[in-house]
Structure 1
């Protein structure tokens, strides 16, 4: 797609809202009066039909060739100064004044990616706040990204922090366990499941912190042979991490601080993507929507999956289940033309079960995969 096309952004906003995304956080590229890739944001601002709230995150690093691993190759450098602080806040003021600006307790939100790169973050924050008060924006809500540092935001004049997984976490390395197709690979391989479990279990600090989750990470596309790859990410695991974050980790937080940042909507070159793709379709978005609902209470009953292809053997299996006298959850898969005889067999043996019509492909493997998700929830 082409983000210069306003219809693309309308479609993305509609898709995000449909699956429970409450706002977009856009990276903002400002270099002492010069901006990059701002056209889509100008169009968003100009198109009042897009209702989805948004906020900006100033990516205040130097612009370098990081996409192919050459961090030392500076294309555009930052020149932080008091004058630049004021020029920046004046430039982004239209976004802060917009009716769709994401607000915390009525204050439009503004993020900084790396506040420690500012000569004096506290002084910058004070300049921004004073300018906004004097120029009709009012009070603002300042947050910083915990990608490289983790100070108490109040110590640098900010209001809150934002987690940015997979940064600031260190699951064990799996690199030595990999069988490499490319023997020259010298990257780093980690376990995404450990990342998710560790961050989901962190208690919230005594300052405002917006938790972060991510649907995976693999930046090998940017750093050929030297990327960081997280294995074993899955929509189900991501759903559980997000659900735990929303309904358990954030439960003690005040209502105004119950916000989660997801990394990311479309970081294709870093393998962190919610958008639909050819491999998994809408699975990540569906997992996002599912996570908004608390986990169902588990029945904790023994579950049995039977694939009934040879019906002459079914009575023996059902008799064994009945004789076990356990409170089974029974799911029987069978081709559609055999569904009714299977139901009759269950009734004849005094058993209750769900009959699911599934083509007889892959022996019992495909039928099991068809019903596995439901069995996991019993």
Structure 2
């Protein structure tokens, strides 16, 4: 099955929808040229990756789409075709607005907007955090770009930067309200001002409102989004695991605490070495997925995030977090749990997120690779076939 330009696959879509996170860092930008090397993209780290232990699946090699450049429209078309024909409803683009009008990696979304192609649903996640060199495995903690929060006027500017996207027919909406995820809500010092500004302006511009989704703070798993003015929460269990050293995990019965103790005993001699993460943290995928979707029942819409694999050693080398032993069938169990988690939500709110479509530098790409081909996508299609009439 192939798509012609601007063609939508014709099948009866279910209320339940899969949204895959989408990283736009696959074309050169001046900032990356200056920080790292001319022509730097996400592929630079991917191609330099080396195995750190016996059986370590590095480097990863892309298949169908190759080492692409996202400035090429045909690449974006093929991505949408692959996703759509395997049961994925849309992409959630990471959006980088640093305040005072500074934004980077926005060319791809702008090209998609202006060209009206591919005809594939999308939304944004505001990835509101400062960029540091540590992301790429260097010891330098210096801030490369600082995330600024400059108050109401700057939030207005951000809203109007996003408005053309919100008005696009492809932009994902819930009950007519544009969907917007905020990655780190606890970083915004005047959160009430931000929320009030976006809600007021969305109504002013003709929408019934805006649907704001919060990433639950990693240090407060009991955080309730409704109490802070949000409509829903995105599962952030993966962030809690990824940034474990910042968490307060008390219960010995908690799986994460048990995994943490085992890692410490096996890989680190002293607590200070564990905190510095001088060696990669290695967790079996079958253990990780027991933690990655909450078993709690929430009194607000909770959108789980399914993670099919993770290994950011291409970026972070010895400071990395590595899942081992991921397979399509183990992922099927994880995805099934995610799908079941939202079945009782209001029909317009039945969303499950996939992490991610193309985060190759973190070995977190659903796009076909040399080892597994389309097997993870096949699992997605088979599970979604229980909800979709193809």
TM (normalized to structure 2)? 0.70
Structure 1 residue aligned with 2:130: 62
Deviation at 1:251, TM superposition (A): 2.6
Structure 2 residue aligned with 1:223: 316
Structure 2 residue aligned with 1:172: 259
Deviation at 1:154, TM superposition (A): 1.3
Instruction: Determine whether 1:122 maps to 2:189.
Output: no
Instruction: Determine whether 1:250 maps to 2:337.
Output: no
Deviation at 1:135, TM superposition (A): 2.6
Report SS of the residue matched to 2:113.
helix
Deviation at 1:147, TM superposition (A): 5.9
Number of residue-to-residue matches in the alignment: 290
Q: Give the Cα–Cα distance (whole angstroms) in 2 for the partners of residues 284 and 71 of structure 1.
A: 36
Instruction: Determine whether 1:18 maps to 2:107.
Output: no
Q: Give the Cα–Cα distance (whole angstroms) in 2 for the partners of residues 53 and 69 of structure 1.
A: 36
Structure 2 residue aligned with 1:302: none
Q: Deviations over 1:23-58 (max 9, x none)?
A: 100000112201111111111112224221110111
Could you list the runs of 5+ residues in structure 2 that have no partner in the other structure?
1-67, 242-255, 268-276
Q: Is the contact between residue 81 and residue 119 of structure 1 (CA under 8 Å) also seen in structure 2? A: no
Shift in alpha-carbon separation, 1:165–1:21, aligned structure 2, 3 A: farther
Structure 1 residue aligned with 2:353: 261
Q: Is the contact between residue 147 and residue 163 of structure 1 (CA under 8 Å) also seen in structure 2? A: no
Q: Which consecutive segments of 4 or more residues in structure 1 shift more than 6 A? A: none
Shift in alpha-carbon separation, 1:212–1:138, aligned structure 2, 3 A: same
Instruction: Determine whether 1:157 maps to 2:229.
Output: yes
Q: Give the Cα–Cα distance (whole angstroms) in 2 for the partners of residues 189 and 268 of structure 1.
A: 18
Q: Is the contact between residue 58 and residue 113 of structure 1 (CA under 8 Å) also seen in structure 2? A: yes
Q: Is the contact between residue 142 and residue 158 of structure 1 (CA under 8 Å) also seen in structure 2? A: yes
Instruction: Determine whether 1:208 maps to 2:301.
Output: yes
Deviation at 1:167, TM superposition (A): 2.1
Q: Deviations over 1:115-157 (max 9, x none)?
A: 1111121221111111122233441100022362542111221
Report SS of the residue matched to 2:142.
strand
Report SS of the residue matched to 1:111.
strand
Deviation at 1:290, TM superposition (A): 1.6
Q: Give the Cα–Cα distance (whole angstroms) in 2 for the partners of residues 87 and 67 of structure 1.
A: 31
Q: Give the Cα–Cα distance (whole angstroms) in 2 for the partners of residues 17 and 235 of structure 1.
A: 19
Structure 1 residue aligned with 2:287: 194
Q: Is the contact between residue 64 and residue 70 of structure 1 (CA under 8 Å) also seen in structure 2? A: no
Q: Is the contact between residue 240 and residue 291 of structure 1 (CA under 8 Å) also seen in structure 2? A: no
Larger radius of gyration: 1
Report SS of the residue matched to 1:224.
helix
Deviation at 1:244, TM superposition (A): 2.5
Q: Deviations over 1:256-298 (max 9, x none)?
A: 2211001111111112110101111111111111222459xxx
Shift in alpha-carbon separation, 1:292–1:165, aligned structure 2, 3 A: farther
- Correspondences of 1:347-362 after superposition (within 5 Å): none
Instruction: Determine whether 1:72 maps to 2:144.
Output: no
Deviation at 1:241, TM superposition (A): 1.2
TM (normalized to structure 1)? 0.72
Q: Is the contact between residue 62 and residue 78 of structure 1 (CA under 8 Å) also seen in structure 2? A: yes
Could you list the runs of 5+ residues in structure 1 that have no partner in the other structure?
179-183, 296-378
Report SS of the residue matched to 1:230.
strand
Of residues 217-226 and 13-22 in structure 1, the stretch that sits farther from structure 2 once superposed is: 217-226
- Correspondences of 1:1-378 after superposition (within 5 Å): 1-32=68-99, 33-65=101-133, 66-70=135-139, 72-82=141-151, 83-146=153-216, 148=218, 149-150=220-221, 151-169=223-241, 170=256, 172-173=259-260, 175=263, 176-177=265-266, 186-200=279-293, 202-246=295-339, 248-294=340-386
